[in-house]
Amino acid sequence: MKTILIVGLILLIGTVLLGFQKTNDNNMNKQGKSPIMKEEPKNLKTATFAGGCFWCVESDFEKVDGVVEAISGYTGGSKPDPTYKEVSAGGTGHAEAVQVRYDPAKITYEELLDVFWRHVDPTDAGGQFVDRGSQYRTAIFYHDEEQKRIAEKSKAALEKSGRFSQPIVTEIVPLGEFYTAEEYHQDYYDKNPLRYKFYRRGSGRDQFLDRTWSAEAKQTPAAMNPGNDSKYAKPDDAVLRKKLSPMQYKVTQEDGTEPPFDNAYHDNKKEGIYVDIVSGEPLFASTDKFDSGTGWPSFTQPLVPENIVEHEDRKFFMVRTEVRSKHGDSHLGHVFPDGPPPTGLRYCINSAALKFIPREDLEKEGYGEFSKFFEATQTVN
């Protein structure tokens, strides 16, 4: 699936690569790869993980407090200086992997392992989710004996926990040569947010993680920033009745529907994000909003997919897919398969379930991490 996506977008990617070429020539190696990692400051350490698609693994780790940088690349095989085409075709022995540079004063290697386990399927020996083959296997590449000891202890604890009914097949092996991937793969989620989210949604990764870790957040409270359970919570009913307007309460707590066109955000064209009126968790962004003509705010995809829960809704003699918030458990609306590209989806959401945070107020309101998203989107556009 990833290869098909790249082929389909080859002209666009070629244009981007040409733009990068002039500024990166002095740092590129003879294979046209991205700059080799700079020498690390003494206080930073490095960990290396393989978890399938490195776009996703890099994105997950770069959201972790204490991680300075995550770099996509290839390791675990025998072919020197492999290219993406060679690795993705299989036969090189390499896996897509990510090197994580982190500050041990803020996060430990053991905590990084916890993040890793919560973002992969460690029981799948044939790849990860939609990406199949040993090049998409899971692995922990240790840099020294201490990392090996901690990784083996962490794996044993996961096996003992009974979280998975199948054996944990993730390898724990010494790190060999790590080859940095081509520049267009670095920070792919940031450079191409819409294409990345389209791929990730279709890969099945988040759906599996939601099922596996449904009793707790995939992010560990000590390590992760966005979607932290301790940050977003549903107040008790007495507080909600005071906080919410009658319409907001009816929609979010009683699964109601507001009138079309006569609501706050159906024609809002300002830049910013939409959060749950109950919990404050981030849900949608203006960059994914479109005019569906229905009279309700409509989006092609969520801003934070982990904060969206979908349920089958059989009310009113029809079958629909209801959309609720994860932490606030607010009724938001429904999702329909009749939206525009790139997802073909229409998230039809009640304004009464939302609070709009303008782009200029993101930092002040505590959503500063999403400012970068708008800057990245402008760069891509």
Task: Tell me which residues are annotated as active site.
Answer: 53, 348
Count CB neighbours of 102 within 10 A. 23
Query: What φ, ψ does residue 358 adopt, rounded to 5°?
Result: -60, 150
3-class DSSP string for the chain: CHHHHHHHCHHHHHHHHHHHHHHHHHHCCCCCCCCCCCCCCCCCEEEEEEECCHHHHHHHHHCECCEEEEEEEEECCCCCCCCHHHHHHCCCCCEEEEEEEECCCCCCHHHHHHHHHCCCCCCCCCEECCEECHHHCEEEEECCHHHHHHHHHHHHHHHHHCCCCCCCCCEEEECCCCEECCHHHCCHHHHCHHHHHHHHHHHCHHHHHHHHCCCCCCCCCCCECCCCCCCCCCCCHHHHHHHCCHHHHHHHHHCCCCCCCCCCCCCCCCCEEEEECCCCCEEEEHHHEECCCCCCCEECCCCCHHHEEEEEECHHHCCEEEEEECCCCCEEEEEECCCCCCCCCEEEECHHHEEEEEHHHCCCCCCHHHHHHHHHHHHHC
HSE-CB at 221 with a 13 A cutoff on CA atoms is: 5
